[in-house]
Structure 1
């Protein structure tokens, strides 16, 4: 019997106290969770520029990594776009490891101990997430949050796909979208004169000279350490901190916890830019020949702190003709359907996303079009019709390209503004192709076939040429977690599936 990792035992002990009926399922899911996280870690070891890996040797029986201290690590051939767990164990100088956290401990590399602890937590939380699932239902959901709740495993490529440090088991069950909870949002009253407001703040969230800022209960308990007035029941979406109000907008709350890679808060700067960005995005979407909608930011407010802020956005469902049977589906949830199993459907979807993404990149905007921000409108029969994009906080805007295309340059500042070609391509290609499309396709052969079919019909532009000919950029997620003190994103290039 496999010896449980301490993180797995801790979760089991907590689970016994709050939901003992889930324990047998949790134990049964641990093996698959270990393989899923180990597969993600092996992808990183095979393709990221980790300083303690000095060479990689491919052979018919797999891949061998040479470490700086002379040791050798051997595992299967690594498909950088695979989403299925296919790595059950690897060998480090003849010693077999089947748990990602124990492998990282055995590697004994700088900053590896902290990352090993995160990996252990990711495995345990992933097993918990899988344990709470019922039988798969083939019928398509009706409510938008139901689509988001179908994404159980989190990020398809990050080893910390389900790591939620700071969340107890009870809190994961209460707030994690895959557990299908209803979350009671609260509000905190703040003097309006002390707040920065962008857009329209609704009357429902005003009380005389005070603004009522929506607050996530985890944030209230762990960061602000205060009670709050109950406001509305809501359903958590894939991002966990964004929740859907039934019949109303989506509410993005401040949740100062590190999920996967970074702390998720709402910066004062992003609140200040939100109305300008939303207006700019609407004008840009009008240039997409009806193929793209961008959800409007209705209002944003902050009490001059990233720990106490909120953003109200349109629901993407606004852009579905429900009387015609259309559905708006987050791209991250497409893998829970049978649609990507059809090569022709996958090629049509790839063509649609590249048409929109490359066109906007030529105009001067790189979307962060990963599976959470990007949604697709499907017909009654499942055909991809058009796209919906949400959350503008981390797009990139090129003033030079906008000017070249006769588009008024919005008043924006900060990291969102760049004319650097590499930065613009990394933002779009890394999120859309290496992220959303790869995660939907599920393997290098499927992704390559879809891209090959789709690019035949696309305009021959410099951006398309770069996409076809160069390695595919993606964030070096493990390198970033093991580089404390290094600010910003770090990148690597993946084998181009078109070559």
Structure 2
């Protein structure tokens, strides 16, 4: 059987790895087929469900799904479960030719902007194989939320760029990636002219100058600052946010494209940070103790998105008496599989809290990275913790309806558009958090059906029950760089046409 040449990014990573960590070369090579299937599965989901303008129609048959392209070609693969997280797509056929690598498939499709996206897919496959190659045998349950986060090896459950890290060398991935379990030395940039919100601590000041924690990748590649020793910290899932040894988390600017977006910290988010934090804390207090929000302790920017930082509470502050806080994205890594009753309890808790808040006027971006669950000593889900308030949406009209004063702010966070509010919550919570935790349409349907009668009867509930579910069209967005706004897709709703 003919084997095509190894994609460029995979070969380049292998060469670097042989020089930096040669003991990982063999497990990296062995992991490449599985990494290709994992990324191809995510890509096939996107092709099956996102509104690609070059797909004329989709036809389901007994042997799978056929996509009819506008140029007359046909792309065939297995039936696509929109909520599946296991890698079940090992190959697809384009006009009879077989493709087992997502980058080769995108290049063969030849759609607009496919060259850049194919390179990102190569990075995603290679980095995913590297991440999987460097995993120890789990011998104990994590003791902190950041240790749980380091168990999330595969990245975003549905994005083909789940591990794409272009611009990062192998040594940098090993030094900064949370799944590689490093301690990252953050630099400290002394700045005279800063915008500060909240309380910036004395230990991050040098007389009249503010010390801004700087990620070493940012210092080397964007700011051109000399390498320096500062704060040792544990990287979290987002890569740019790290847990300091004494508890607080620090969000740093990191101007690199990882999955979809270039990571930095906007001046707007710093300006509004204290207002949004106080408002969110007030709203969380209206959930009968079922939700906590990690408070923003201080935020600073040197009037640039490339040099800024945010200090916020650790989620672990909200665990008491044998409880532990687990990021939802890490739930799948637990030694004991989640039972159907546990999943139902968690689904009920998450939907109840988030629907109440949406009715009051706050739409959370409750994906598996932002949302954490507090587990009792016996492992039961008892409360939620939400972090990173930069992308919530707030409706002044809904707040007024409940007699709640709107925060004194404007900008992208503020909207009364019902479609925008529902997309923000449902797209992250159902299409992301609950779907990925369930891992399949069948399991998600069972969980939703078991709790839907218990959910608060808010005006948003019919939209959840009766129509398709929104999700960000993550692949189409990468293929549409000329479109700065979010693009949305619709997923089959497991609850549609059922009576409750």
- Please report the TM-score for the alignment, with normalisation by the length of structure 1: 0.98
* Distance in 2 of aligned mates of 1:288 and 1:109: 47
Cα distance, 1:3 vs. partner? 3.6
1:347 maps onto 2:341 in alignment: no
Q: Which residue of 1 aligns with 2:394?
A: 397
Q: Which residue of 1 aligns with 2:21?
A: 19
Over 3 Å counting, the alpha-carbon distance change for 1:346 and 1:157 in structure 2 is same
Q: Which residue of 1 aligns with 2:151?
A: 150
- The runs of at least 4 aligned residues of structure 1 exceeding 4 Å deviation read none
C-alpha deviations, 1:207-257, integer Å up to 9, x for none?
111001000000000000111542211000000000000122000000000
Is contact 2:396-2:416 (8 Å) kept? Answer: yes
C-alpha deviations, 1:17-75, integer Å up to 9, x for none?
10111000000000000000000000000000011000000011100000011000000
**Within 5 A, what are the aligned runs for 1:270-285?**
270-285=269-284
Q: Which residue of 2 aligns with 1:166?
A: 167
2:459 to 458, 462, 485: 462
Is contact 1:188-1:229 (8 Å) kept? Answer: no
Cα distance, 1:340 vs. partner? 5.4
* Unmatched runs of 5 consecutive residues or more in structure 2: none
Q: Which residue of 2 aligns with 1:70?
A: 72
1:359 maps onto 2:359 in alignment: no
C-alpha deviations, 1:59-108, integer Å up to 9, x for none?
11100000011000000000000000000000000000000000001111
C-alpha deviations, 1:329-370, integer Å up to 9, x for none?
000000111565311100000000000000000000000000
C-alpha deviations, 1:154-194, integer Å up to 9, x for none?
00000000001110010000000000000011100000xx1
2:109 to 94, 107, 131: 107
Q: Which residue of 1 aligns with 2:314?
A: 315
* Distance in 1 of aligned mates of 2:288 and 2:8: 54
Cα distance, 1:458 vs. partner? 1.1
SS for the counterpart of 1:51 is coil
**Within 5 A, what are the aligned runs for 1:100-139?**
100-137=102-139, 139=140
- Superposition RMSD on alpha carbons, in Å? 1.0
Is contact 1:339-1:346 (8 Å) kept? Answer: no
- Please report the TM-score for the alignment, with normalisation by the length of structure 2: 0.98
Over 3 Å counting, the alpha-carbon distance change for 1:56 and 1:140 in structure 2 is same
C-alpha deviations, 1:360-416, integer Å up to 9, x for none?
000000000000000000011110000000000000000000011111110121110
Is contact 2:57-2:68 (8 Å) kept? Answer: yes
* Unmatched runs of 5 consecutive residues or more in structure 1: none
Is contact 1:154-1:161 (8 Å) kept? Answer: yes
| Count of residue pairs brought into register by the alignment | 494
Is contact 2:7-2:122 (8 Å) kept? Answer: yes
SS for the counterpart of 1:483 is coil
Is contact 1:188-1:228 (8 Å) kept? Answer: no
Deviates further, 105-114 or 221-230: 221-230
Is contact 1:339-1:382 (8 Å) kept? Answer: no
**Within 5 A, what are the aligned runs for 1:365-380?**
365-380=362-377
SS for the counterpart of 2:345 is helix
* Distance in 2 of aligned mates of 1:448 and 1:115: 33
Q: Which residue of 2 aligns with 1:42?
A: 44
Deviates further, 27-36 or 201-210: 201-210
Is contact 2:144-2:324 (8 Å) kept? Answer: no
Q: Which residue of 2 aligns with 1:412?
A: 409
SS for the counterpart of 1:263 is coil
* Distance in 2 of aligned mates of 1:255 and 1:225: 13
1:252 maps onto 2:254 in alignment: no
